[in-house]
Amino acid sequence: MTKYEYLKDVLKIRPEEIISYGEDKFKVDLKLKKRLEAAKDGKLILVSAINPTSSGEGKTTVSIGLAQGFKANGDNVILALREPSMGPVFGMKGGAIGGGVSSLEPGWDINLHFNGDLHAITAANNLLSAMIDNHIYFGNELKIKEVYWQRALDVNDRALREVGLKTRTDGFQITAASEIMAILALAKDFPDLKQRLADILIGINEDDQNVHVKDLGCQDALALILKDAIKPNIVFAKEMVPAFVHAGPFANIAHGCNSVIATQMALKLANYVITEAGFGADLGMEKFLHIKQPLLSTKVSVVVVVATIKALKLHGGVLESELDQTNVEALEKGLENIEKHFENIHNLGLRGVIALNKFASDAKEELQFLETWAKKNHIPFGLSEGFIKGGKGTQELAKLVKEEAEKGSHFKPLYQYEDSISDKVKKIAVNMYGADDVIFSKRALRKMEQFKALKFPICIAKTPLSLSGDATLKGRPRHFNLEISDIKISYGAKLIVALTKGINTMPGLNEHPRALDFRVDDEGEIIS
């Protein structure tokens, strides 16, 4: 059976709803979502993680492997994943298509220009920048005094964090941090996309009044650029597992989830939908639950927390260069990180399962220690060996996750949208991160006063490497304050973004970026 035939004959997507980009990449027309509105939703399984090492813990690999396990067990399952950014692809972490047997196909097409979505978002973002500066150049009828909007690029480039224009200072952020990326991920349909684009706050005028895209009048031009990008992509993982891969906001600087449209489609097409939220549960999971979940027609049934022995030992005090060495003592100490995440999950009214991403370097005594600890503490625990074995290596894990999903959860939000901005930030910092208090800069305090009437959810931008705002604090940090340096209002995405001290929305390349290691043959095919 071809992939096109699978979409048509197994998922029952109509031919007129399938837009082919070759034989293995597709988009799905938005008319599918409308046609299936009355269909029953499947169970929603959210994959998150503990605070990771610098190279990540294989959350996408585990998500794909788990879906393969569900399929191997005879269950109807679909993945709903984020699109990769070329920043990490050519930087430190690499691509975002999973690994080994548990990976998406065609891998490099997805990692790079995947159906043009991120390029369209970048173009729309920068057209808006050009329109703003052009308006100022030709007389500034709107009397724009301060511009909040930044340019964007889908590569890591620290030199672009601040650039000088003839009339003002500007800066670039990575495309994944653009509000247009967040809008694409949160819009429910094309009219909603247009309205959200129109609502984007671009700055303030000489009377300190807000200036929006609708004041410039270019929202339809931006929507035109995004008319195909809003249509979800669907591809397949190995073992013929269908996967919606659409939108790619980073979870440390944005809300870190794939699109509402793609997830909603998946919920109508399958009995089980496995989706992921970026980085640790303190970032992606919290944002999924408070920002994205209210826009869906169902709630999360169970949270799968991906862990690795390496990451646990890192939180136990071991240097990254020594993580391959057996160290049960450090492993035990590092468990306080995952214990905090599970405490958060339970306090939110949800069920959780640990999925240990097993590596060949994991020592037998370390694995036995973890299994004994989980059993003693009554924590559902399973191994993921999808990288080597695909679905055969995750079938038992899939059974465990399905069992917990069928029990259901009852989500209890940390805050209400009506709470003040400072209260919402504090409730997340104190309850999710373990902070004693939050310290706001003068700029942040001014912005909170300026926008105090807004009732939007909070999106905290902070390091993913620690529960705190300090990447060097591992395990379960205590007795710290979270410092908020600035508040950014995403009117179109309907988010209040709180930036922690030191966070940057345009990453830089590491000393030896992965871009130096690529080799291609004379036909442009990747050798290594």
Confidence class for position 503, pLDDT limits 50, 70, 90: very high
- Residue 121: strand, helix, or coil: helix
Instruction: Judge contact between 287 and 496, C-beta under 8 A.
Output: no
Estimate the crossing angle of helix 179-186 against helix 117-137, to 10 degrees: 130
Can you give the pLDDT at residue 473?
A: 97
Cα torsion 179, 184, 186, 191: sign = positive
Tell whether omega for the bond before 106 is within 30 degrees of 0, i.e. cis: yes
pLDDT at 80: 98
Q: Which residue has the tokens 């209400």?
A: 416
Tens digits of residue pLDDT in 330-339: 999 999 999 9
131 vs 55: CA distance, rounded Å: 38
* Across 319-324, average pLDDT: 91
- Residue 471 contacts residue 438 (beta carbons within 8 Å): no
Q: State the Cα–Cα distance between residues 113 and 254, nearest whole angstrom.
A: 21
Strands 163-164 and 169-170: antiparallel
Structural domains for the chain: 3-116+234-407 (3.40.50.300), 119-225 (3.30.1510.10), 421-500 (3.10.410.10)
Residue 82 burial (10 A CB sphere; 0-12, 13-18, 19+): buried
- Sequence-distant (≥ 6) Cβ neighbours of residue 252 within 8 angstroms: 278, 279, 283, 461, 462, 463, 464, 503
The amino acid at 7: L
- Of the listed ranges 64-68, 78-82, 189-193, 248-252, the least confidently predicted one is 248-252
pLDDT at residue 95 in the model: 84
pLDDT at residue 421 is higher than 80:
yes
Contacts of 216 (CB under 8 A, 6+ apart): 128, 131, 132, 135, 142, 202
Report the pLDDT value the prediction gives residue 247, as an integer from 0 to 100: 97
For 105, the token pair is 């196909």
Mean pLDDT calculated for residue range 315-327: 93
The pLDDT tens digits for 362-413 are 999 999 999 999 999 999 999 999 999 999 999 999 999 999 999 989 999 9
Mean pLDDT of 178-188: 98
Give me the pLDDT at residue 528, please: 66
C-alpha to C-alpha distance for 178 and 174, rounded to whole angstroms: 7
| C-beta neighbour count of 206 within 10 angstroms | 11
Checking if the pLDDT of 445 tops 70, the result is: yes
Question: 351: closest CA among 46, 40, 41?
Answer: 46
CB 233 within 8 A of CB 185: no
pLDDT above 70: percentage of residues in the chain:
100
Distance CA 460, CA 469 (A): 10
Report the pLDDT value the prediction gives residue 166, as an integer from 0 to 100: 83
Residue 246 has pLDDT above 80, yes or no: yes
Q: Please, which pLDDT band fits residue 54 given cuts at 50, 70 and 90?
A: confident
Which among 286, 276, 281 has a CA at the least distance from the CA of 464?
281
Residue 39 has pLDDT above 80, yes or no: yes
The reported pLDDT for the residue numbered 199 is: 98
| pLDDT confidence band for 518 (50 / 70 / 90) | confident
pLDDT tier at 273 (50, 70, 90 boundaries)?
very high
| Mean predicted lDDT score pLDDT of the chain | 96
In 3-state terms, the chain is what percent helix, strand and coil (to 5)?
40, 20, 40
Query: Is the pLDDT reported for residue 525 higher than 90?
Result: no
pLDDT at position 34: 95
* CA angle centred on 411, ends 420 and 37, rounded to 5°: 100
Predicted TM-score (pTM) above 0.85: yes
Q: Would you say residue 523 has pLDDT above 90?
A: no
Residues 316 and 327: beta-carbon distance below 8 Å: yes
Q: How confident is the model at residue 527 (pLDDT cuts 50, 70, 90)?
A: confident
- Write out pLDDT tens, residues 274-283: 999 999 999 9
Residues pairing with 300 in the sheet: 44
Q: What percent of the chain has pLDDT over 90?
A: 91
